[in-house]
Structure 1
Amino acid sequence: MSYISKEEKEYLIRELESELHAKLDGPRKNLIVPICPYCGKSGGKFGIYVGKEVGNKKLFVSHCFSCGHTTKDINQLLDDIGRPDLKIIEKASFDPVQIPEFFGLEEDEIDDELSIIDMPESWKRCYHNRYLQSRGFVYDDYEYFPVGTTRGLNWKFDDYVIFPIIDNGDTVGYVARHTWSKEAIDQYNQTAKRNGKYQIRRYNNSTDNDFVKLLYNYDAVIEDETDTVIIVEGVFDVIALTRKLELYDNTRVAVVATFGKKISDTQIYKLQSKGVKNIIVGYDSDATDAINKTAAQLNEYFDVTIAKIISDGKDWDEMDFWDIYDTFAYNLTTPVEFKLNTLDEKIKCN
């Protein structure tokens, strides 16, 4: 492609946004197009790279994750979408073209297709539960975060509280947490193992969809409205932070869980496709290696900060409001700062 000025580039981006109803992603490196102009697949699987040209990453390369169509020639794309009036003068180039960052994921790595599932037999939503009350649940929690039990009618889920995982209004999984403490479960299982009896699982989750495709509380992320997402490990962390920071009706900030101390390419894609710009990593602060790895993954696509939990040995569910406030007010660091602090601490320990 011949030289294109900043003004020409911005003009072309604006025209593509208007023509294709596209939106810039968080770091403003890609135009996300809701419907692929080649295969017609919806869901924001077609993108156009508009970031800085670095190495073989070329401006205006486009790709569809659904049909796999890649267009390396912007003039060809403009012809295909019926806008030849926008074509630019181009000179021949024999340099190989590398698919840019957003398009660097293989199709199978960003497979976000999900099956709709049924909740366990006899599951019924509840609005009062002794175990949940002990964990601080209030009326709004029951309203915003559906939860239920099988009421003793399904032995596989006796003494479990079961949270549906909802994606675009559909139930795509569930998290079932036993109401006994870890210590009580371990003690029971030791005896059960010796006697050849059924052992209790602390979590008895769904298996229909791979959890690397799921985000708990994903529907709280509103497309083009929610610009900041706090990622945490589990369901109770999401609910505790939402309650303690009063984020129930906040459309700008949402909390989601990645079901552990790592994030997948599919989960990153799901957040990016809704226009999220800022990510705060809120994993337990003792998981420094996992935090560093996850922050590095996310930093390619979002503005990332890390919430280093102030209260030693506690998670969000156990912290009071002021500890949480101090963490977000005074203890947010960039990935580089966090990594350097981690190295300093390791050196001191040695």
Structure 2
Amino acid sequence: MVISREEKEYLIKELIIELHAKYDGSHKNLIVPRCPYCGKEGGKFGIYVGVETDKKKPFMTHCFKCGHTTKDVNQFLTDIGRSDLKLEEHASFAPVQIPEFFRLEEQEIDDELCVVEMPKSWKRCFRNDYLKSRGFVNDDYDYFPVGTTRGLNFKFDDYVIFQVIDSGDVVGYVSRHTWSKDDIEEYNNRAKRNGKYQIRRYSNSTENDFSKLLYNYDAIIEDETDTVILVEGIFDVIALTRKLILYDNHRVVPVATFGKKISDTQIYKLQSKGVRSVIIAYDADATDAINKTAIQLNEFFDVTIAKLMGNGKDFDEMDFWEVYDVFAYNLKTPIEFKLNTLDEKI
């Protein structure tokens, strides 16, 4: 069926009002908070409204809870009680592949999380010598909950422990030993020879898979946050927030993926908040991972890459002007970044 631009725009506006729908980050899909077929909530019902291609037809619908799919726009309009919006011709969708948004959850994205208990004796702190050495200021303690077990839990002696929060719930924690990497390696080499307990640099929660989590996720405000800066770890998030003064800036939010890659669940979580632009700011030595992540994200967001200097510095090791230069002068499109890295290898 040929649908004029005016008909399409009118139908989209009516569906947004009728179903309380909103665009995802790519503006190719409408996300509906409640499925009109099974009644399940959580934004699992999608309507494709992108450009028609051989494989993608406008107004196809799919629910990732009950699995109901509708390929006939007029049938869908009848099902939701809006026969008054039916188009003159009957839509005749031959069997087609599910559009890009739907393929993301074709295997049913599992974004269910359980609430996690913090380690026994954990208590939030607002002053810590190790964190001070990492540049922490008062605002950091207020915005990024962190604490210790105060010597009352031997498993977490000499660790600082950060809460990972999602929708207000604690869904994980990341504990970082306060010794340097070199000191830990030196101790572990001696401990291994003497058959003693070895120190882990990180000792994290295990209840929820970290590929489902994003650090600083609740700072993304639905329909307000336009741009997310993707970084690898917690200290990168906090350093960028401090140095770029992003504490109360809801338009731009740094978020950590806990490593140099992003999962389909993490992509879906960004989409569900209406994020439109993503800046990848992984470490300078992660060129292959950056290129792969850019390909994954480019289907759903406007993607740029922050090209860090090859001096091995993390964001919390950079001064303000070094961070400023990265985002003022070294943002590359995925193609530009790939060509630059190829030139550097030659």
Output the TM-score relative to the length of structure 2: 0.98
Distance 1:70 1:170, change over 3 A: same
SS in 2 for 1:306: strand
Identify the residue that residue 39 of structure 1 maps to in structure 2.
Answer: 38
Identify the residue that residue 112 of structure 1 maps to in structure 2.
Answer: 111
SS in 2 for 1:39: coil
Identify the residue that residue 172 of structure 1 maps to in structure 2.
Answer: 171
Counterpart residue identity of residue 320, structure 2: F
CA contact (8 A) 1:310 1:331 kept: no
Q: After superposition, what is the alpha-carbon deviation per residue over 1:7-56, rounded to whole angstroms, capped at 9, x for unaligned?
A: 10000000000101111112210001111111222221111000011222
SS in 1 for 2:46: strand
SS in 1 for 2:317: coil
Q: CA deviation at 1:192?
A: 0.8
SS in 1 for 2:51: coil
Farther-moved stretch of structure 1 (52-61 vs 326-335): 52-61
Identify the residue that residue 208 of structure 2 maps to in structure 1.
Answer: 209
Q: CA deviation at 1:106?
A: 3.8
SS in 2 for 1:19: helix
Identify the residue that residue 265 of structure 1 maps to in structure 2.
Answer: 264
Q: How high is the sequence identity, in percent, across the aligned residues?
A: 77
Note the residue ranges of structure 2 that are not aligned, 5 or more in a row.
none
Aligned residues: 346
Counterpart residue identity of residue 71, structure 2: K
Distance 1:133 1:96, change over 3 A: same
CA contact (8 A) 1:306 1:338 kept: yes
The CA distance in 2 between the partners of 1:33 and 1:191, in whole Å, is 58
The CA distance in 2 between the partners of 1:94 and 1:71, in whole Å, is 10
Counterpart residue identity of residue 236, structure 2: D
Alignment of 1:125-274 (within 5 A): 125-274=124-273
Counterpart residue identity of residue 170, structure 2: T
Identify the residue that residue 16 of structure 2 maps to in structure 1.
Answer: 17
**2:284 aligned with 1:285, yes or no?**
yes
Counterpart residue identity of residue 60, structure 1: F
The CA distance in 2 between the partners of 1:91 and 1:46, in whole Å, is 23
Counterpart residue identity of residue 140, structure 2: D
Distance 1:307 1:325, change over 3 A: same
Q: CA deviation at 1:148?
A: 0.2
The CA distance in 2 between the partners of 1:72 and 1:317, in whole Å, is 50
Identify the residue that residue 99 of structure 1 maps to in structure 2.
Answer: 98
**2:324 aligned with 1:325, yes or no?**
yes
Counterpart residue identity of residue 162, structure 1: I
SS in 2 for 1:104: helix
User: Aligned-residue CA RMSD in angstroms?
Assistant: 1.1
Farther-moved stretch of structure 1 (137-146 vs 83-92): 83-92
SS in 1 for 2:162: strand
Identify the residue that residue 80 of structure 2 maps to in structure 1.
Answer: 81
CA contact (8 A) 1:36 1:64 kept: yes
